[in-house]
Structure 1
Amino acid sequence: MKEPATSENDPIQKRLNKILETRLDTDKDTLEALSDLSTFFTENTLQTRRNLRSQIEKRSVAINENFLESFREVKLSLDSICNEIDAMAKSVNSMKENLRSSQALTHDLIQQTNSLQAESNKLQIDQQIAGAFLSRFQLSVAEHQTLYGAVKDAPITPDFFTVLDRVQSIHADCRILMQSGYQTAALDIMEEMTLHQEGALERLYRWTQSHCRNIDSHDVGSLVVQAMSRLQDRPVLFKYVIDEYATARRSVLVRSFIDALTVGGPGGNPKPIEMHAHDPKRYIGDMFAWLHQAIPTEKENLLLLIKLCDKNDLSEQIQNALANIADGVCHPLKIRVETILNSEKDTIILFAISNLLRFYQNIINYVVKGGNLEQCLIELRGHSEQSYLNALSAQVRSILQRPTTQSMGLDPPQRDLVPPPSVGKLLNILKEILSVASMVEGRQSDITKIVSCVIDPLLQSVTESASHLPTIDMAVYMLNCLYHMQTTLAMFEFMDERMERLQAQSDAQIDTLTSEQASSLVANLNLGPIYTILQNSQARIEANLLKIFMNKMDAFLEMPDVLLLPQINLLLSSTHRSTVQKRSFNVIITIYKQIYERIHDPESGYESPESFFSKTPEQVAELLSG
């Protein structure tokens, strides 16, 4: 007997369990099958369920038939491709055969072609090298036009200097080219660049000269400055341009100076300088002040013109050009200054003008040296000095002139022997002029000339007027006049030499007065016979002469001033009075001492010499010196 089937061994049961255990929501194949089934299994009936298998089989057959049909088309396409591939293979084989045949026939041609290709490549390299060489060592058409100008009288542009630098650079590089073994090419290129450079500099010279001919003081452009730096390598052309500039600026400066004199500034401010022609100092001062402002400006503009040049070798050309510019004002300036100098008579004004000329001469000569302007200023200064000296001399002559006789010389001295008023007037004028002269530069020369111009004729007149006086009066009068001169000159510097000369003259007059005063004392004291005896060492002085002398001597010692000459008291200087008195008293003291020693000498044979003298020479000297 068969054992009954259990649930574990029953296949149906197993399948049923498997189906029950299957989770359809995660079984993709089942879901796709059901989805596909839903497309044609639309009605769930018994009939449709029975026919489901046959429908599925039919559907499978239809699908396979469709696949077969599609695969047939693919096969036909592949067959066509294979046929075409076979045809292409045959064509390729035919071409390979033709190529082998052609290669055998064109082998020499190919070799020749390859050789030509290599040569072509080499030529291309050579062409590039030649092009680079020409580009480096030759000027392009555009550069050539820039250097020489596309049209006649074309202006200079900044590109011109760039091309000129390139020409110079090519010329310099040719030296390296020569060192590399290309002497012929380098020399040819250097010659060509030299011609270019000369032509360019010639054009630059013409342009710069034309520009400088019409240049304005504020129109020194950068291109002109560059042009001057390039032309410096051609000294002749450079000098011509500088001369042209100087000539143009000279005309402008003269025109501006004339305008400043006659027209004034813009809108009449400042006013024309010639409006102050009635005031000589201001008129001349304004003219020179204008030049002092204008000439340094011209120097600045000239230095601006050559600021890129090497100035080490241009100092002389700069000075010459500046002198040429400034020379134009010489004629109008000289005419006006000389007119003032010739018409003005006031010594002080003329002296002030001379100082102005000296001051501006030093300033202008510091800016511009040489040329006609420097010579003009020297001449004007000399003229001004001569003018004020002539005016001063004329003034001195007019003061020293005697109103009655209209001849040179002071009036006769008065009884008081003081200097006449004309001496004081002249010394006051001298003091006024020297006060001005002491404040100016270079005053020593002026002071010396001024003093000589006044003191020399004054001394001559004083001497002439004193020559008619007795000796004592003449000495006193001369001392008083000399003292007045010395006190005036002592207030000023540079008077040492003149003071020494005046002092020497004073000393001579003091010596004269001293001699006269001593002679008077000798006579009043009855010393003449005694002094004569003293000259003979063997002679004996009589006692009565000694008594007469000692009586007068005692009276003299009590009142020394009684025997002084009356003219001594007319001396203005107490120093002079004291000196004359002291020196004359010293003469008496010396003689007294000689008498005293002769009497007290034992060989003289005088008994009781003390009886003759009441005082020793020392006591006499003490009394007279007091």
Structure 2
Amino acid sequence: MTTDYFLTRKLSGLGESPISPTSPTNPQALRSNPLAAKVTSVLSASYADSDVRDALGLLDKRGVENNAETRRQLRLDVQKEVIESNGDIIREFGRVAEQLKRIGLTIASLNEGCEEMKKHIQSAHQETAPVLQEASELMKQKNQVESKQQLLKAFNTHFVMSDNDIASLTSTAEPVDDKFFSVLARAKKIQNDCEILLGTENQRLGLEIMEQTSKNLNGAFQKLYRWIQREFKTLNLENPQISSSIRRALRVLAERPSLFQSCLDFFAEAREHVLSDAFYTALTGTSVTGEEDRSVKPIELVAHDTLRYVGDMLAWTHSATVSEREALEVLFISEGDEIAKGIQAGRENEPWNRIAEDEEGASSFDGLKALNELVDRDVAGVARVLRQRIGQVIQTHEETIMAYRIANLLNFYRVTFSKLLGDDSVLLDSLTNLEESALKQFRALMRDHVAGLQADTQVSPADLGPPDFLQDGLKQLTAIMKTYETSFTSIDTREKDFQPILAEAFDPFMKASGSISEDFETPESEIFAINCLLAARNILAPFDFTTGRVTKIQENIEDHATRLIEHQYSFFRNNSALQPLIQALAPLSDSREDLKSIRNMETFQPDTLTQASQTLDDFLPSALMDAMENLKHLQSSKLAREITEEAAERFCDDFEQVEEKLIAADEIWEQEQEQSEGTTAEGVSLRELFPRTSGEIRVLLS
């Protein structure tokens, strides 16, 4: 619509019909007509410009009509509006200037106020700076105090014990319970931790705390010591359920070796009285106070036999010792080496005791050894009564075998107690002394017995058998050896330990028998000696601890048997008339000259040799029986036969040598006869005069 308005106005002003903007125009006309040029420039202008488009849009809004009046007034109206708008702007800016002036005044006033405030602030800052600095220092001090308070609280919690804890630790009115041991453990930890405080520059605090803690610990251990003593008075060791609190208290008290040892001494003394009273009750059936105990069979009334009386007392002692040891094992070493650790710790805490122990050569604590020593001290009273009773039995008894049986029984229990209590104990020493006393009594009785038999040793038995006193002695020795066989003597020293018994109970009888054999002539003395030795060997052989002595006896038997063989051999040679022949041929060798000289000897002359042959023939049929008759009193027929056979064998060997010499001599004689000029032989051969052969002799003597 705006475009149409401008076109209509221009064309109407020119008085021309409207033309198209695109219709061709005459360029010359345009140049000559300024209006046309102006129109052309207007028409050629682009209405797409934003300013033009905005202007046209503004005209449309104002509702301007396209007429001459409007066109004349438009510029003026526009300028008027511009002037009015400028005036409005100026008025507004004036008001703005007024406002800005007031703002400037306000700002200036504010600046003055700010300067004033700044001055006040600077003045206040100068005045409050020391206060702030002091407050900062106070805050730092406050933080330090709080840190110290926390440190003090932690220190008090760790190092300072409360009054209740101290009362529980040292007051005898408080029980010894878990709280006591807990507080005690804390006190010991405080004492150990005080070493850290002693490492600082200021040691006063550590020394004061350690002094107080040590005082509390000493009071606690004294309280524990007295409590254990009270408990020991009523403690029943026969009860398998022994209080665990006592075991715990003993392990803790071990940290004070002096108190622990005093407690053990008190306990050992109390147990010694208890066991001594119990042993007296077991012996008599009544208590020390005279009250009868019907549940007990008195040993003195029940054991009528002496050996049983001694055995019952030793058996009771062994039973009591085993029970005591088992009970004390529960108390002292049932839970490892806690007591040993406690005593070691106590030695470290008590250097004066450690120095004394080092001077005495004390080693580390041995729980088993300490247990053995305590048990031995507990039964020391029983050992004294036992030594007195058994000593009386030994001194008043006059039977040899019984004395040895008592000694062997004591040996058995001595070995048993050595395994139970070790080698160093009062009870073991008592048993050793009693055993020696019993053996001494045995030796004295044996010597008296041997002395009483001196008159009987001169009587020579007719059958050459062992005399009665030897048989009695061997019977007694058998009983002794059976008793010794049941002893606990070590296998390695078993035979050696029995040699003193043989010296007392065997050698005197054998020596007396040897004295009797000296009164006999050979072969009776050898037969008697062999009979005595055989009886002794048969008694000793079944026992393994007499092997050496049996070997010596066998050697003696063989020596005597050798002499009997020699006697039998002489019997064969002399009674067979072979002895002269053997003696005559003994110096000769096997040379031709010596063999040739045999026929010239007087022993080998025909008459003499014929007589010897006749004597031999008369002897041989009964020779073996006559020889056995010589040994008829020998109690071992086997040995007699062996002796006779050995002698006969030697006789046959000698006869064989004589036979060989005679044959050799006859051969030389025959050779000489053949070489002589005569044809008739002079004399007879020696074999014709002495025809027996060695084979015949062996057959007759076999």
CA contact (8 A) 1:524 1:563 kept: no
Supply the distance in 1 between the matched residues of 2:187 and 2:223 (Cα, whole angstroms). 19
**Displacement of 1:340 after TM fit?**
0.8
Pair 1:397–1:475, CA change in 2 (3 A): same
AA partner of residue 183 (structure 1): T
Q: Which residue of 538, 543, 553 corresponds with 2:605?
A: 543
CA contact (8 A) 1:212 1:244 kept: no
**Displacement of 1:161 after TM fit?**
2.1
The yes-or-no answer on 1:512 pairing with 2:563 is yes
Query: Which runs of 5 or more structure 1 residues have no equivalent in the other structure?
Result: 1-103, 402-406
AA partner of residue 366 (structure 2): L
Query: In the TM superposition, what are the counterparts of 1:432-581 in structure 2 within 5 Å?
Result: 432-442=479-489, 444=495, 448-537=499-588, 538=594, 540=598, 541=601, 542-544=604-606, 545-561=608-624, 563-564=626-627, 566-581=629-644
Pair 1:227–1:425, CA change in 2 (3 A): closer
My pick for the range that moved more, 233-242 or 580-589, is 233-242
Q: Which residue of 2 aligns with 1:101?
A: none
**Displacement of 1:295 after TM fit?**
1.8
The yes-or-no answer on 1:598 pairing with 2:661 is yes
The yes-or-no answer on 1:218 pairing with 2:236 is yes
TM-score scaled by length of structure 1: 0.71
AA partner of residue 611 (structure 1): E
Query: Which runs of 5 or more structure 2 residues have no equivalent in the other structure?
Result: 1-123, 342-363, 589-593, 671-684
CA contact (8 A) 2:276 2:381 kept: yes
The number of residue pairs the alignment matches comes to 512
Supply the distance in 1 between the matched residues of 2:633 and 2:570 (Cα, whole angstroms). 19
Pair 1:560–1:261, CA change in 2 (3 A): same
CA contact (8 A) 1:148 1:199 kept: no
Q: Which residue of 1 aligns with 2:340?
A: 310
Pair 1:409–1:117, CA change in 2 (3 A): same
**Displacement of 1:593 after TM fit?**
1.9
Q: Which residue of 2 aligns with 1:235?
A: 257
**Displacement of 1:380 after TM fit?**
1.1
Q: Which residue of 2 aligns with 1:353?
A: 406
AA partner of residue 240 (structure 1): S
Query: In the TM superposition, what are the counterparts of 1:380-391 in structure 2 within 5 Å?
Result: 380-391=434-445
Q: Which residue of 1 aligns with 2:211?
A: 195
Q: Which residue of 2 aligns with 1:374?
A: 428
Q: Secondary structure at the match of 1:471?
A: coil
The yes-or-no answer on 1:409 pairing with 2:457 is yes
**Displacement of 1:622 after TM fit?**
4.3
Supply the distance in 2 between the matched residues of 1:283 and 1:275 (Cα, whole angstroms). 9
Q: Which residue of 1 aligns with 2:417?
A: 364
CA contact (8 A) 2:465 2:532 kept: yes
CA contact (8 A) 1:598 1:604 kept: no
Query: In the TM superposition, what are the counterparts of 1:77-476 in structure 2 within 5 Å?
Result: 123-124=145-146, 126-149=148-171, 156-173=176-193, 183-184=200-201, 187-188=203-204, 190-213=206-229, 215-216=232-233, 217-218=235-236, 221-264=243-286, 267-276=293-302, 278-307=304-333, 308-310=338-340, 313-315=365-367, 316-369=369-422, 370-398=424-452, 400-401=453-454, 407=455, 409-414=457-462, 416-442=463-489, 444=495, 448-476=499-527
**Displacement of 1:378 after TM fit?**
0.9
AA partner of residue 373 (structure 2): N
CA contact (8 A) 1:410 1:462 kept: no
Supply the distance in 2 between the matched residues of 1:535 and 1:118 (Cα, whole angstroms). 138
Q: Secondary structure at the match of 2:339?
A: coil
Supply the distance in 1 between the matched residues of 2:394 and 2:669 (Cα, whole angstroms). 83
Supply the distance in 2 between the matched residues of 1:460 and 1:432 (Cα, whole angstroms). 20
Supply the distance in 1 between the matched residues of 2:236 and 2:568 (Cα, whole angstroms). 83
Q: Secondary structure at the match of 1:514?
A: helix
AA partner of residue 310 (structure 1): A
Supply the distance in 1 between the matched residues of 2:586 and 2:634 (Cα, whole angstroms). 34
**Displacement of 1:583 after TM fit?**
2.7
CA contact (8 A) 1:208 1:241 kept: no
CA contact (8 A) 1:522 1:588 kept: yes
CA contact (8 A) 2:414 2:431 kept: yes
Q: Which residue of 596, 603, 611 corresponds with 2:688?
A: 611
CA contact (8 A) 1:517 1:584 kept: yes
Supply the distance in 2 between the matched residues of 1:268 and 1:534 (Cα, whole angstroms). 96
Pair 1:172–1:390, CA change in 2 (3 A): same
Pair 1:301–1:566, CA change in 2 (3 A): closer
CA contact (8 A) 1:262 1:274 kept: yes
Pair 1:377–1:571, CA change in 2 (3 A): same
Supply the distance in 1 between the matched residues of 2:216 and 2:373 (Cα, whole angstroms). 28
Q: Secondary structure at the match of 1:183?
A: coil
AA partner of residue 543 (structure 1): Q
Supply the distance in 2 between the matched residues of 1:281 and 1:247 (Cα, whole angstroms). 31
Supply the distance in 1 between the matched residues of 2:200 and 2:649 (Cα, whole angstroms). 109
AA partner of residue 697 (structure 2): V
Pair 1:243–1:314, CA change in 2 (3 A): farther
**Displacement of 1:338 after TM fit?**
0.9
TM-score scaled by length of structure 2: 0.64
Pair 1:600–1:171, CA change in 2 (3 A): same
**Displacement of 1:349 after TM fit?**
3.0
CA contact (8 A) 1:249 1:325 kept: yes
**Displacement of 1:457 after TM fit?**
1.9
**Displacement of 1:377 after TM fit?**
1.1
Supply the distance in 2 between the matched residues of 1:334 and 1:597 (Cα, whole angstroms). 81
**Displacement of 1:111 after TM fit?**
6.2
CA RMSD in angstroms comes to 3.7
Supply the distance in 1 between the matched residues of 2:214 and 2:311 (Cα, whole angstroms). 50
Pair 1:568–1:610, CA change in 2 (3 A): same
Supply the distance in 2 between the matched residues of 1:410 and 1:257 (Cα, whole angstroms). 52
AA partner of residue 435 (structure 2): R
AA partner of residue 300 (structure 1): E
Supply the distance in 2 between the matched residues of 1:201 and 1:596 (Cα, whole angstroms). 113
AA partner of residue 457 (structure 1): P
Pair 1:489–1:556, CA change in 2 (3 A): same
CA contact (8 A) 1:430 1:454 kept: yes
Pair 1:615–1:148, CA change in 2 (3 A): same
Structure possessing the higher radius of gyration over alpha carbons = 2
Pair 1:159–1:559, CA change in 2 (3 A): same
